[in-house]
């Protein structure tokens, strides 16, 4: 990434007061999808913060201006320039924060808080004109507000949402203390990264080691034929997102496995997911995608933009292996693949001419750590609400494990043309049992132990409604206004 600095000025070409950079492969794909499905919102990323306490709207507006001035991705649009697709960075202009006082009658007319917020976040973005980030403050009373952060995935990812919120909080608190805050520019931006990536991928001596590594990995990865999938694969991609929380026994088991075998929460949850897919598919050659931050290089750790890429996991599962053997082998496997993740998955897809819906990209797994999230804004207490705008129609199965201080939550997105709600409930039942099995320190097969625990009382799923099935749920309905 040292090359980023050397091409910075070369990549910045003026366009009537703005500057432009080439788009990455991932951005080009999203642009193509938006052209085929104009007006859709499925690529919107959203985080909603429940603010309990008084909030200074003017200071929050100024804090947003500081962060917007610092991060070019917050003032970027995507458009065609001749035959090239480019991202245009616009000058930093002060934008007023949209603040709305919402009364109970208006909420009732929209089906409650959840319905009201859904109407806000399901508005499409217009990529050519921008802006591609929206911030809105909903006042629910004198000391209760919702702060909505919404962006298009073409200029952001999950890490970007966290970075922006973290810097907004810092700017707000410093403004509250000092009344003025200088705007600092960044050394590197997402545009610099895109320019570097464009140059790098055109030089075969840089990409050759990656191609050599991924050739056997992506050579016809097996598609786990899920047993509940009957009939041919449909193409309507009717997506659904379901939410629940893991029982305390699973949380304790994951912590025990982490301490006992010296692995991370990610490896424990990934192992349980692979066991689950194996038991429900009968396959041992398993392939899936796990989102990867794409920020390993120096200077990219706090860059806002679409750097998230796919961490390709192809693992040959041994049904007789114990929990300890599986976790140790999987930890080594993940560490080895990380050395070859600097090239985005979209580039690998193009290089290996993978199909648009290649099997390796139809099962996804992610672990998101919310345990260290910022919890105060000035004197107000802040909680990040579990509200996902994605309906997950593009892939057959996505599992998001969200780690908090003392519990884990689940978000499951699936294609209803492939999986039924009952099928997903059974799969998540197995996942919880697999988490319990991963804590065992004997030589018993982890797959066999999972199958046994699945029928035991301690392995039963405890969802938010205390029923043994997944339900659609939003934390908004739990707010007491």
pLDDT of residue 278: 92
The answer to whether residues 106 and 143 belong to one domain is yes
The answer to whether residues 157 and 259 belong to one domain is no
- Residue whose pair of structure tokens reads 């610092």 in the numeric block: 70
The answer to whether residues 187 and 209 belong to one domain is no
The answer to whether residues 356 and 438 belong to one domain is yes
Burial 208-221 (b: 16+ CB within 10 A, else e): eebeeebeebbeeb
In the chain, how many domains are there? Answer: 2
The one-digit pLDDT tens for each residue of the chain (481 residues) are: 443 333 344 444 544 567 888 898 888 888 887 766 666 777 888 888 999 999 999 999 999 999 999 999 999 999 998 888 999 999 988 999 998 888 777 777 777 777 888 888 888 899 998 899 999 999 988 888 999 999 999 999 988 998 999 999 999 999 988 766 655 655 678 888 888 888 877 777 788 888 888 888 887 655 565 544 434 344 455 677 777 778 888 889 999 999 999 999 999 999 999 999 999 888 898 888 888 887 877 788 889 999 888 778 888 999 999 999 999 999 998 988 888 877 777 777 777 766 554 556 678 888 888 776 667 888 898 887 765 544 445 678 888 898 877 788 888 888 887 788 888 888 888 999 999 999 999 999 999 999 998 876 544 554 444 333 323 333 334 444 3
Q: Would you say the pTM of this structure is higher than 0.85? A: no
CA dihedral 171, 173, 175, 181 (to 10 degrees): -40
* Residues with Cβ within 8 Å of residue 389, at least 6 apart in sequence: 41, 44, 45, 46, 118, 121, 122, 150
Query: Which CATH number goes with the domain that contains 286?
Result: 3.30.559.30
The answer to whether residues 295 and 329 belong to one domain is yes
The answer to whether residues 444 and 314 belong to one domain is yes
The answer to whether residues 296 and 219 belong to one domain is yes
Domain-terminating residue out of 139, 170, 194: 194
pLDDT of residue 97: 93
| Residues comprising the chain, all counted | 481
**Tokens found for residue 423:** 């099928």
The answer to whether residues 291 and 375 belong to one domain is yes
Could you tell me where the beta strands, DSSP code E, fall in 300-419?
309-316, 363-369, 376-377, 380-385, 397-403, 408-415
Whole domain around residue 60: which residue ranges? 3-194
The answer to whether residues 190 and 211 belong to one domain is no
Query: Which CATH number goes with the domain that contains 167?
Result: 3.30.559.10
Rounded CA gap, 256 and 262, in Å?
Answer: 10
The answer to whether residues 151 and 211 belong to one domain is no
Closest CA to 134 of 53, 56, 48: 48
Domain-terminating residue out of 168, 194, 220: 194
The answer to whether residues 227 and 329 belong to one domain is yes
The answer to whether residues 182 and 215 belong to one domain is no
Half-sphere exposure of 162 (CA within 13 A, CB side): 14
Rounded CA gap, 138 and 295, in Å?
Answer: 33
Rounded CA gap, 112 and 161, in Å?
Answer: 25
Closest CA to 381 of 61, 62, 49, 48: 49
Rounded CA gap, 446 and 221, in Å?
Answer: 24
Domain-terminating residue out of 194, 214, 244: 194
CA dihedral 416, 422, 423, 428 (to 10 degrees): 110
Secondary structure (DSSP) of 169-233: HHHHHHHHHHS-------S--HHHHHHHHHHHTT-HHHHHHHHHHHHHHSSSPPP---TT--SPP
Do 344 and 469 contact (CB within 8 A), yes or no? no
């Amino acid at each position: 990434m040292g090359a980023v600095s050397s091409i910075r000025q070369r990549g910045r070409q003026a366009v009537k007061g703005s500057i432009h950079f080439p788009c990455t492969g991932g951005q080009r794909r999203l642009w193509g999808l938006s052209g085929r499905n104009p007006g859709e919102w499925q690529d919107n990323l959203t985080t909603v913060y429940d603010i309990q306490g008084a909030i200074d709207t003017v200071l929050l507006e100024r804090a947003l201006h500081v962060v917007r001035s610092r991060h070019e991705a917050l003032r970027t649009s995507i458009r065609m320039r001749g035959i090239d697709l480019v991202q245009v960075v616009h000058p930093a202009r002060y934008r007023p924060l949209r603040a709305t006082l919402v009364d109970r009658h208006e909420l009732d007319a929209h089906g409650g808080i959840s319905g009201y917020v859904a109407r806000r976040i399901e508005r499409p973005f217009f990529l050519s004109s921008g802006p591609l980030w929206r911030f809105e403050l909903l006042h629910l009373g004198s000391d209760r507000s919702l702060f909505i952060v919404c962006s298009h995935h073409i200029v952001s990812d999950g890490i970007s949402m966290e970075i922006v919120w973290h810097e907004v909080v810092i700017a707000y608190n410093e403004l509250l203390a000092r009344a003025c805050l200088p705007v600092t520019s960044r050394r590197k931006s997402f545009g610099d990264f895109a320019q570097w990536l464009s140059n790098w991928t055109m030089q075969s001596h840089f990409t050759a080691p990656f191609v050599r590594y991924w050739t056997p990995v992506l050579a016809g990865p097996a598609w786990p034929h899920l047993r509940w999938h009957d009939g041919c694969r449909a193409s309507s991609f009717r997506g659904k997102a379901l939410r629940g929380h893991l029982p305390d026994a699973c949380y304790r088991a994951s912590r025990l496995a982490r301490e006992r075998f010296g692995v991370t929460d990610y490896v424990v949850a990934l192992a349980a997911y692979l066991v689950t897919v194996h038991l429900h598919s009968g396959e041992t050659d398993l392939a899936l995608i796990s989102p990867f931050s794409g920020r390993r290089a120096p200077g990219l750790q706090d860059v806002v933009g679409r750097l998230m890429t796919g961490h390709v996991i192809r693992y040959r599962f041994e049904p007789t292996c114990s929990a300890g053997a599986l976790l140790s082998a999987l930890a080594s496997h993940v560490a080895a693949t990380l050395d070859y993740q600097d090239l985005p998955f979209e580039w690998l897809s193009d290089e290996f001419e993978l199909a648009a819906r290649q099997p390796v990209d139809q099962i996804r797994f992610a672990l998101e750590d919310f345990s260290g999230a910022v919890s105060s804004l000035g004197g107000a207490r802040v909680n990040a609400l579990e509200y996902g705008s994605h309906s997950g129609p593009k892939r057959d199965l996505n599992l998001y494990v969200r780690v908090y201080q003392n519990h884990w939550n689940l978000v499951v997105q699936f294609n209803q043309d492939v999986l039924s709600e009952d099928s997903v409930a059974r799969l998540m039942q197995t996942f919880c049992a697999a988490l319990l099995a991963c804590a065992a320190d004997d030589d018993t097969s982890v797959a066999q132990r999972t199958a046994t625990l699945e029928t035991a009382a301690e392995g039963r799923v405890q969802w938010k409604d205390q029923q043994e099935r997944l339900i659609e749920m939003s934390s908004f309905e739990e707010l007491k206004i």
